[in-house]
Amino acid sequence: MSDNTEMPEMRGNRRVICHVGDIGEAGKGLTLKRIIKGDPERTLDIFLVPDRDEVHCYINICPHQGTPLDLKPDVFLDIERKYIQCTTHFAKFQKHDGLCIGGPCAGSKLMKLPITVDDDGTVLLGS
């Protein structure tokens, strides 16, 4: 979207996020615009991570200090691509459920959002 006057692309009642082909090996960060009806300036920073044949979506906020997880655009995974990693304090999170398994916020979870991947590879917000 180029400006805040455009409406988000929808499929039925679900919002189109991107195509699975747009998600790199280390993830993809996105800013969703127009997330609240009547407040076109409100945005939501999210990221998508691949996990074998699945894709998971989380809000881009570390539970430790509320900072974004990525210091480099679209880099959300550790070097082995096994865990989501906060690049501020190196906390590690499981891909499938966002549980922190190491670092200053161990036991906390990332905020997961429900998504659906259509047969054509389009990632949609909502289940």
Rounded distance between C-alpha atoms, residue 56 and residue 38, angstroms: 28
Confidence of residue 1 (pLDDT cuts 50, 70, 90): very low
Question: pTM for the complete prediction?
Answer: 0.91
Instruction: Specify whether the CB–CB gap between 27 and 76 falls below 8 A.
Output: yes
pLDDT at 61 over 80: yes
HSE, CB side, 13 Å, CA atoms: give it for residue 28.
17
Amino acid at 44: L
Rounded distance between C-alpha atoms, residue 2 and residue 94, angstroms: 33
What residue spans define the domains of the chain? Answer: 10-125
Rounded distance between C-alpha atoms, residue 96 and residue 33, angstroms: 25
How does pLDDT run across 84-105, given as a tens digit for each residue? Answer: 999 999 999 999 999 999 999 9
How does pLDDT run across 66-82, given as a tens digit for each residue? Answer: 999 998 999 999 999 99
58 three-state secondary structure: strand
In the chain, the N- to C-terminal Cα span, in Å, equals 23
Given this model, what pLDDT does residue 4 score? Answer: 45
Instruction: Specify whether the CB–CB gap between 23 and 91 falls below 8 A.
Output: no
Percent of the chain residues past pLDDT 90, beyond the cut = 83
Given this model, what pLDDT does residue 35 score? Answer: 82
CATH code of the region 10-125 = 2.102.10.10
Confidence of residue 2 (pLDDT cuts 50, 70, 90): very low
Q: Supply the mean pLDDT for the chain.
A: 92
Rounded distance between C-alpha atoms, residue 44 and residue 50, angstroms: 20
